[in-house]
Structure 1
Amino acid sequence: MNAELLSREEWELILELLEREEADLHCEIRHARFYDVRELLKQKKDMIGRLIERIRSLVSEPVASSA
């Protein structure tokens, strides 16, 4: 299967959505009643944080000119 690359705007939207999810997870972690649930949410938040950093570096790269 031939996958298309996403545009910069699409990556920025994904970044925005991930940042919103990360903030929501912070609240969910605080309100989780069970240790196991809290740990799973922390793992998910950490994974999202790593994705955010990867996407930020991707989005902040200068666009290559085709000169």
Structure 2
Amino acid sequence: MQAKGVPPLKPVLERLTAIQASWRHTGEAANTIWEHLNHLLYYNERVLERIKGGTPIYPASRAYARCFPP
């Protein structure tokens, strides 16, 4: 199910190049699109593995432990 007002991510990313995804404004500390996607992937894989009853393959971060206690 798609949340109202939130477009699907796949069509947006299909036309994005690696150069565009890794672009960062000069002097800014903000994450790139590439970094945001890596964060999403990390947490999505961990949550899915826990839902399936398994042990996540990546070590838990402190932020993850606060959000998803054992």
**TM-score scaled by length of structure 1:** 0.37
Structure with bigger gyration radius: 1
Structure with greater helix share of residues = 1
Higher relative contact order (CA 8 A, sep 6+): 1
